[in-house]
Structure 1
Amino acid sequence: MSYEKPLPGVNPQPRGHFSEHRVNPNISVPGTITFVLGRVSDAPLQYLIFTQGWAVKGLTAVGLRASNLLITAGPGVAGLGPIPTLLTGMYAVAGLRHGYWVLFTNTYHWPPSAALQVVAYNTVLNTVNTLVAVNALTSSPYPILGDFTDCMGWKQWAGLALFAIGISVEIIAEESRKHFKKDPRNKGKIDDTGLWSVVRHPNYLGYTLWRAGITLTTGSLIATAALTVFQVLAFTSGGIPGISGYMSAKYGQQWKDYTRRVPSAIIPGIL
């Protein structure tokens, strides 16, 4: 058995309760429903923030430049311009990814309160990205004429690449661990195969990458750097210490041996 993925980017529960949350074998139906509905509704919410002028009103209220015209100008889908269309698509894919995870990959208890925290965390980050994108579009150097790809710059292409890589890393890590745990021969063992032999938390690496990819797609390098640093700090100060304490108590020397073989927590050779 290997350790599970706690709240993406947050660890709101006290250390003592953390292990209790993890070892509960019963799947919470209300929690799962809350998790799925909350995550898949995020993309429609962001679409409304774009199209109903809420982002522009919020930004202008604090003295920042924003234009409704630039949100809708150029080739896109459902009344959105190219970059808002791309961002909304990313939000949708990430929400569906989380929904799939909690329905088909997850094996432990998610009470509604914990599910709501995951939903709120991701919704807040995506709302910030939406606001950053609207502000960045005000001075966007990219054309609004031509086909969809003509309206994308290197930041959007790089963001899309990071997003795809991050989602893939997260999926591969979680699914490979699921199969490892299903094998009776691995009972009582820590998963140190595949991506888990490279870093101790490849799912966190994947999450950080696709989060950075979304923010880079907004066109703001400053926001991308800030989000990436914030996310890494959130993991290293919250989720990872909780997991380490749980794993150390459960596996003892096996966990110590694993951390020696795989010293990097998130970023290979760095952190």
Structure 2
Amino acid sequence: MPREPKDWANQSREKKTSPLGTSIFIGLRAADTVLQYSILQRGWGSQLIQTLGGSAVPFATPRDPALAYFGLGPYPAILSALALGSGTKHVAWILGISEQAMTPPAALMIGTFNTVLNTLNTMFSLWTITSAAPQMATQSASIKDVILSSPTLMLGLGLYTVGIVTEFASEVDRKNFKDKPENKGKAYGGGLWSWATNINYGGYTLWRAGYAVSAAGLPWGLATGAFFFYHFATRAIPSLDKYCTDKYGEQWTDIKKRVPYKLLPFIY
């Protein structure tokens, strides 16, 4: 029998339910949200940095309860919210959008990979050498004040928002197309997918870069964005292109002629 096709993450492309893999994936993404919050709220990250001989940003919980967000100051609360947003998006995707089997190995790999990246962002946000925390983030300021005081943070949050909305909206759009009986066996190149043939990967790259910028500034954001750009361009996109060519034939060829960009409009 021919081998079952898999994607670049060694995840099965077979459309079926996978309760164990799905449960592992949801558990890891939910646990990551708790972990990032705990690193910030319980001081675990700052303690580790100081133990290793580094200097941690002296975040303090605001005395005014109106300026405390679940026990966090404004800037740590923003970082915790970014972790929550990424985990929520992934859980919504696996429960309501993805039709492919999430094997336990793939769930472990993807879940762990995202937690490692989020943890690096959190730790860098706490280290004085890398932190992108605005100066007023340690003072009695609101989240709005902290954001407006830092162009870097505004850029990071903007990239994060545009990226995660683009990724999720494109996936919902494609699922709505696929769910219609008359579209069975058809490739989709409309909506956001008319901007780039892998616009969901482009969205992921943007929000990952934005998350990194928000935590550790432009250098870390550029490094993160470049990593995913290279990864998608050299591994994920060629793998998916082969799969779609084999499955859709001329349909896919026609879409690629009409949509010249692969990852992000006007870039690649």
Could you say which TM-score interval applies, normalised by the shorter chain?
0.7 to 0.9
1:175-194 alignment to 2 at 5 Å?
A: 175-194=172-191
Give the direction of change, closer, same or farther, for the CA distance of 1:214–1:138 in structure 2 (3 Å limit): closer
Query: SS at the partner of 1:142?
Result: helix
Q: Which runs of 5+ in 1 are unaligned?
A: 1-5
What is the aligned counterpart of 1:70 among 50, 59, 65?
59
Identify the residue that residue 108 of structure 2 maps to in structure 1: 116
Identity of aligned residues (%): 34
Range 221-230 or range 258-267, more displaced: 258-267
Post-superposition CA distance 1:132-183 (Å, at most 9, x none): 1101459853351233322232222222222221121112101110011112
Post-superposition CA distance 1:29-70 (Å, at most 9, x none): 011111111112211101111233332243345543214x32
- 2:132–2:214: 8 Å Cα contact kept in structure 1? no
Rounded Cα–Cα distance in structure 1 between residues aligned with 2:231 and 2:59: 33
Identify the residue that residue 3 of structure 2 maps to in structure 1: none
1:222 counterpart letter in structure 2: P
Rounded Cα–Cα distance in structure 2 between residues aligned with 1:159 and 1:139: 12
- 1:161–1:213: 8 Å Cα contact kept in structure 2? yes
Give 1:192 deviation, angstroms. Answer: 0.9
1:193-204 alignment to 2 at 5 Å?
A: 193-204=190-201
Post-superposition CA distance 1:183-205 (Å, at most 9, x none): 22222211011111110011111
1:243 lines up with 2:240 in the alignment = yes
1:91 lines up with 2:83 in the alignment = yes
Rounded Cα–Cα distance in structure 1 between residues aligned with 2:157 and 2:254: 37
Give the direction of change, closer, same or farther, for the CA distance of 1:246–1:252 in structure 2 (3 Å limit): same
Rounded Cα–Cα distance in structure 2 between residues aligned with 1:227 and 1:142: 26
2:261 counterpart letter in structure 1: S
Rounded Cα–Cα distance in structure 2 between residues aligned with 1:192 and 1:230: 26
Report the TM-score when normalising by structure 2: 0.87
Give the direction of change, closer, same or farther, for the CA distance of 1:142–1:219 in structure 2 (3 Å limit): farther
Identify the residue that residue 210 of structure 1 maps to in structure 2: 207
What is the aligned counterpart of 2:136 among 135, 138, 142?
142
Q: Which runs of 5+ in 2 are unaligned?
A: 1-5
1:53-68 alignment to 2 at 5 Å?
A: 53-67=43-57
1:46 counterpart letter in structure 2: Q
Report the TM-score when normalising by structure 1: 0.86
- 2:202–2:263: 8 Å Cα contact kept in structure 1? yes
Rounded Cα–Cα distance in structure 2 between residues aligned with 1:96 and 1:138: 24
1:132 lines up with 2:124 in the alignment = yes
Post-superposition CA distance 1:77-98 (Å, at most 9, x none): 1222211101111111211111
What is the aligned counterpart of 1:151 among 138, 146, 150?
146
Query: SS at the partner of 2:173?
Result: helix
Query: SS at the partner of 1:220?
Result: helix
Give 1:99 deviation, angstroms. Answer: 0.5
2:23 counterpart letter in structure 1: I
Query: SS at the partner of 2:263?
Result: coil
1:165 lines up with 2:155 in the alignment = no
Give 1:112 deviation, angstroms. Answer: 1.1
Q: How many residues end up aligned between the 2 structures?
A: 255
Structure showing greater relative contact order (alpha-carbon pairs closer than 8 Å, 6 or more residues apart): 1
Range 244-253 or range 152-161, more displaced: 152-161
1:44 lines up with 2:34 in the alignment = yes
What is the aligned counterpart of 1:80 among 59, 72, 86?
72
